[in-house]
Amino acid sequence: LNSLVSFGGVEGAQLWLEQTGCTFEMLLDPQRKVYRSFGLGASYAKVMKFSCLLHYSEYRTANIDFPDFPPRLLEDLYQMGGDFLLDDSGKVLLSHPSKSPLDRPGLTDVLQAAAAGKH
């Protein structure tokens, strides 16, 4: 089972799935219990770091579009995310709380964690 967790509402989640083409199941956590259990907080300073703003500004010059979200569906821009891989029993195989919006584990790390979880 491949799933994403979002703290947003149903309408925003459906729109994000449509615009990104993601086929994973979206689980909603409006009280952010899952977020807190993985140690994910919010940070204005981390989200608004110059390096993040510069990176996103380069999207525009490269004609890379962001998903088009109506302002009423934007919730907490400062909520930090992360990448976590769990096996079928709920054992955490990979835990990567993001240090910034651009901080994601490499594909090799994710695949190695998934392979290790199969043994």
pLDDT(67) > 60: yes
Work out the number of other CB atoms within 10 angstroms of the CB of residue 11: 11
* pLDDT, tens digit (0-9, with 9 covering 90-100), for 71-105: 776 677 778 888 888 888 888 898 999 888 888 89
Q: In this structure, what DSSP letter does residue 73 have?
A: G
Distance CA 119, CA 113 (A): 11
Per DSSP, what are the bridge partners of residue 116? none
Over range 19-31, report the average pLDDT: 89
For Cα atoms 89, 90, 95, give the angle at the middle one, nearest 5 degrees. Answer: 140
Examine the pLDDT at 41 and tell me if it is beyond 80: yes
Residue 27 backbone phi and psi in degrees, to 5: -100, 135
